[in-house]
Amino acid sequence: MTIDEASERYKIPIEVLKEYESWGLCGEVKKVMGAWQYDDTDLQRLSMIMTLHDIGFGNEEVESYMRLLLEGSSTEEERLKMLKRKRGSTLDEIHFKQKQLDRMDYLRYKIKKAQKERRLSQ
């Protein structure tokens, strides 16, 4: 499967596919007549890359994670640490956003209360 076919069929941006190729992680990818040919293993790896991007990993983190993944089960602890760090930072973001929502709700409450008081006093 060519880069264009893989991009279209699996909805993977061309940039991600090119990034994957540039990392040299595609050991199973064959170059045929100047075009990369992806097999099922590559598509599984690309699916993992998309998942990592979706959960907030940056390009360098994705590359590091994928290199560890390709090394095998001996890197599981290191990959778990990476996921734990990302989970922690995601929870921090969620808590920060919750505080923002609480403050917004308080301001909305104050405005609505003032509006109600004005209506009652008229």
The total number of structural domains in the chain stands at 2
Q: Same domain, yes or no, for 92 and 118?
A: yes
- Decide: pTM greater than 0.75: no
Is residue 50 a contact partner of residue 16, using CB atoms and an 8 Å limit?
A: yes
Q: List the domain range (segments joined by +) for residue 113.
A: 87-122
Is 39 within a domain?
A: yes
Q: Same domain, yes or no, for 29 and 67?
A: yes
Structure tokens at 3: 């880069």
C-alpha angle 3-57-29 in degrees, rounded to nearest 5: 25
Burial of 52 (0-12, 13-18, 19+ CB in 10 A): buried
pLDDT digit of tens for each residue in the chain (122 aa)? Answer: 788 888 888 888 888 788 777 777 665 556 666 667 777 888 888 889 889 989 999 989 998 999 999 899 999 999 999 999 999 999 999 999 999 999 999 999 999 999 999 999 88
CA trace torsion 111, 115, 117, 119 (10° rounding):
180
